[in-house]
Amino acid sequence: MVCNDGPTMGISRYLGRLLGLLFNDATHCKKFHKTYNVRHDMEFYQKSGHLLPTILFTSFNINDLCLDFSHQQVMDALEHFLNSYNSSDHSIQGMTNSTILQLVRLVLDEQYVIYNYKLYRQTAGSASGSSLTIPLVYIYLFYWQQNLLEDLINKNELFFRYRDEAFITWNRSEDELCTLLAMANSQFSQPTWNVIHIGSTIHFRDILIINNSELLRTSVYHEETFERIMLLSSFRDILQPAIKQDTWKWLRAFFLKAIRYCSDQDTFNEE
């Protein structure tokens, strides 16, 4: 169990927003809140001439790392990040790099949880519900070893993140990417890069993305377990009771998703 509430949560939320914006700016990462935003950026990427036949898609998550990262290593990576992003004699929103580091250290040091009537202090990782946790972990991943950032992120490629999941485009061989990630993992005290999938066809969240020889195709991704239920049940049977009472609302949401996710008329008709 990890703590996700406490007297430092206000500071945590403020620092989370600040560091998230700084990280996005430094790495050209785009944070999105709706999956269909991925389709829009992918279409622009294609129209810009960057979607080559050799382009691979990669998705990974950082969920496990959020719970057990080393506080000292994260602080070292954060200091490296701040110094590379902002000179020590300049302030960010009225704060020096030193002040930001002190506030982050305060949040990490003052994490407590009550479990079985006992008070525990969390000495590794951070609260999974804290807005500071995810930006810190991304900074840890990319700035603990600076050369990893330079090798993995290209300004002409895409880098998205949604909470603890991320997606990048890669214009080199799969073997090179796997070697790079293996080398990166060897630099950390615990496994860090939890790669979900690498390939020209990939699903990220609930959108399916296909690179078919420079032709982009996107559609709704369906979990295999859901598809098996569909084969064994009637349409009405698979709906939850609450949904059965408002079937038209459910259908409307489904059609909106198909319209937003499907890249062309044929794909929409198949859906």
pLDDT score for 132:
92
pLDDT tens digit string along 64-116?
788 888 899 999 999 999 998 887 677 888 899 999 999 999 999 988 878 88
Looking at this protein, which amino acid is placed at residue 270?
E
3-state secondary structure 29-97: CEECCCCHHHHHHHHHHHHCCCCCCCCEEEEEECHHHHHHCCHHHHHHHHHHHHHHHCCCCCCECCECH
3-state secondary structure 201-249: EEEECCEEEEEECCEEEEEECCCHHHHHHHHHCCHHHHCCHHHHCCHHH
pLDDT score for 189:
67
Instruction: State which residues of the chain have pLDDT below 50.
Output: 1-2, 225-235, 237-239
Number of neighbours of residue 96 by Cβ within 10 angstroms: 15
- Can you tell me the distance from the alpha carbon of 211 to that of 55, in angstroms, rounded to the nearest whole number? 7
Please list, in sequence order, all residues whose beta carbon lies within 8 angstroms of the beta carbon of residue 127, skipping any fewer than 6 positions away: 2, 3, 4, 5, 12, 111, 133
pLDDT score for 216:
94
- Can you tell me the distance from the alpha carbon of 199 to that of 202, in angstroms, rounded to the nearest whole number? 6
257 touches 211 (CB < 8 A):
no
Give domain limits for the chain: 9-219, 223-270
